[in-house]
Structure 1
Amino acid sequence: MSVDTASGHAETREASQANQVRYLILAAQREGNRQLAQNLRPHGLTPAQAEILVVLSTREPLTLAELGRFIVCESGSPSRIVDALVRRGAVSRAPGLVDRRVVHLHLTTEGRELLAAIRDVDSAVAGAIADRINPDQLQVLVTALRGLVDGTDAGAKVTRRFGS
């Protein structure tokens, strides 16, 4: 049993490791988002905007609700992010052919042009991860993290995007 010196509470080794995992995931997520945001900034994009453009590039046309089932960056409806991308001219909205009340999202020419920069940034971030974690460790990490998010909404979104 160990004692958390900050709180004086005793915790088991297993609980201590579980807490470390939670904070390591948070730290890795923050560092990854920081790097991603820094690399996307010259292109005038946020990580959430980039994710939406990538999802649309592989699955368009999508309704806002359909898009929300694939993105991890935003819980709930991604309407605020899509609105910004529409104002920028990277995404367009078009009424459905059968039901004009349904609105489909499409990439515009500008949105497609941004994809090359996004893919370069994604490759750089993936390369930074590969430089720090060997392929065997990476597979163990993917398996462990999938185990953590299995059965959750975010886990389902990852599975929809990347398969199981």
Structure 2
Amino acid sequence: MFEHCLYFNTTSLARQLEREWTGAFKPFGLTPSQAFMLRVILDKQSITSTDLSIELNISKATCSRSVDGLIELGFVKKLHAGTDGRSHELHPTAKARAIHDDLNLASGEVTKKIKRIIGSDQFETTVKNLREIGSSIR
């Protein structure tokens, strides 16, 4: 019935992928969304919430809620930036830096598993195509 529906098929795939990455990040006490967000913060070492929301293609409100969760877990701290009291930067804590390599490894293992299942070329082509479609729709 939905063989030609981009929405249905990408959403179905997203649910399957969510289960895979949920299992990978569970040992860290993180959801996939939190883990990917933390990986960006760790990579940048300092980023504003606005830039983070752009990087992850999510709303500022969604970003703010996820950042609050990472702060509560002790992985991120907010530091005021500039003279504007509302402006702040996000920085990884020592706790976050301690799991950085393991977090990347866990994500990499899921990627390897999926590449084994569908093939490396199919994986790379699919990711490339999805990124191009997403860029075109914006």
Normalised by the size of structure 1, how large is the TM-score? Answer: 0.73
Cα distance in 2 between the residues matched to 1:136 and 1:39 = 23
1:53 to 32, 38, 41: 38
Task: Indicate whether 1:75 and 2:36 are aligned.
Answer: no
2:79 is aligned to 94
Cα distance in 2 between the residues matched to 1:151 and 1:99 = 37
Identity %: 24
1:11 is aligned to none
Query: Is this contact kept in 1: 2:24–2:107, CA < 8 A?
Result: no
Which of structures 1 and 2 has the larger relative contact order (alpha carbons within 8 angstroms, sep 6+)?
2
Cα distance in 1 between the residues matched to 2:21 and 2:106 = 7
Task: Indicate whether 1:63 and 2:48 are aligned.
Answer: yes
Structure number with larger C-alpha Rg? 1
**What is the Cα-based RMSD across aligned positions, in Å?**
2.0
Structure 1 or 2: larger helix share? Answer: 2
Could you list the runs of 5+ residues in structure 2 that have no partner in the other structure?
none
Aligned length: 136
Equivalences for residues 1-164 of structure 1 within 5 A: 4=1, 17-19=3-5, 21-72=6-57, 74-77=58-61, 78-96=63-81, 98-101=82-85, 102-153=87-138
Change (3 A) 1:135 1:40: closer
Could you list the runs of 5+ residues in structure 1 that have no partner in the other structure?
5-15, 154-164
Normalised by the size of structure 2, how large is the TM-score? Answer: 0.85
Deviations 1:8-35 (A, max 9, x none): xxxxxxxx6422x443322221111111
How far residue 139 of structure 1 moved from its aligned partner, in angstroms, is: 3.3
